[in-house]
Amino acid sequence: MIMLRLTGVLLAAGLLQASPALAGTSHEVDQLRSDLQSLGGNSAILRKARSMDPNNRARIVQEREVNRNLRFEVAASYGYVAGGDPYTLTDNLGLQLDFHINPRWSIGTRYYQFSNSLSREGNRVAQAVQQNPELTFFDSTDYAKDSFMGTISWYPVYGKLNLFDLRVAQFDMYTLLGYGQIRLASGSAPTLTAGGGVGIWLTQHFSTRFEARWQSYSDRPQSGEARPLDLTLLSLTLGFLL
C-alpha cells in the first residue's frame, strides 16, 4: 500500500512539472496554426509593404497601358459563317470603325462583304437539277451579299497577358449589340446581332480581336415565304488605334 501511494505521488509530481511544457507546446501549435490560416493577412506586414510602394496595387490592377479614351479604331476582319441557307457555304470580309468613348464603352459601324459557294447539299441538288431539268434549284435558296450595321460594345473584364515573355499585352473581354441592313439575292432585310469577344491591345496603336456573334434576319426564297435564319459568325480582326 505504501508503495502504491509513493508511486502515485511521483506520477503526480511528474505531470505537474511537464504541464507547463505541454501548455507551452500547445500554445505554440495553436499560434502556428493561426499564422498559417491568416497567411498574408498580417496587418502590420501589409502596412509596411504598402508604405514602401503605395501605388503598386493600383498600377497592377487598375491602370491601363493602352489609352482608349476618345480614340478611333479602324480594323479589317475575316469571318466564317455557320448556319443560314443550307445550300451555301458563306464567309465574309469586313471593315469596321469604332469610337472608344472610354475603356468601358465604344460605338461603331461595320460593313461586311459576303462570299458564297455551294455546300455539299447544294452540290447534290445542283447535280440533280442537271440530270432533271424539270427540277428548280435556285427557287428554294437565297444568299447574303453584304451588310451594314451600327454597334455598341461594353468591356466589363480587363486583364494583362504575358506574350512568350517578350512583352505584356492588355486585353478586354467585351459584349456587343448591333442592328442594320443585310442585302440578299432576294432584296434587303433588317438584321440584328449580339455577341462578344476578346480584344487584345498589343501597343498604343495595334490591336486584334477574336469574336463570336449571333446574327438573325429573314430571307425570301422565290418558291416560298420569308423564313427566319439564325447564324453564328466567328471572326478575327486586326485593328489600328488612331
Q: What is the pLDDT of residues 126-177, one digit of tens each?
A: 677 666 666 555 556 778 899 999 999 999 998 888 778 777 788 999 999 9
Does some domain include residue 64? no
Residues 39 and 144 in one domain: no
Q: Burial-class residue 125 by CB neighbours within 10 Å (0-12, 13-18, 19+).
A: buried
Contact in structure between 155 and 105 (CB atoms under 8 Å): yes
The answer to whether the CB of 106 falls within 8 A of the CB of 99 is yes
User: In degrees, to the nearest 5, what angle opens at C-alpha 16 toward C-alphas 10 and 19?
Assistant: 135
Q: Does some domain include residue 66?
A: no
Q: Tell me if 62 is assigned to some domain.
A: no
Task: For residues 91 and 162, state if they share a domain.
Answer: yes
Residue 59 resides in a domain: no
**Residue 69 in 3-state DSSP?**
coil
Query: Is the confidence at residue 225, as pLDDT, over 80?
Result: no
Q: What is the pTM of this model?
A: 0.67
Among 207, 226, 195, 228, residue whose Cα is nearest residue 79: 195
Q: How many domains does the chain have?
A: 2
Find, among 229, 208, 187, the residue nearest to 81 by Cα.
Answer: 229
Residues 36 and 100 in one domain: no
Looking at the fold, whether 155 and 101 belong to one and the same domain comes out as: yes
31 plus 79 within the same structural domain: no
**Domain range enclosing 37:** 2-51
pLDDT at 180: 96
Q: Give me the pLDDT at residue 116, please.
A: 84
Res 236: pLDDT:
96
User: Which amino acid makes up residue 139?
Assistant: D
Give residue-wise pLDDT tens across range 27-74: 655 665 555 444 444 556 556 656 665 555 544 444 677 889 999 999
pLDDT, tens digit, 9 for 90 and up, residues 71-121: 999 999 999 998 777 778 889 999 999 999 999 999 999 999 999 887 777
Based on the fold, state whether residues 42 and 75 are members of the same structural domain: no
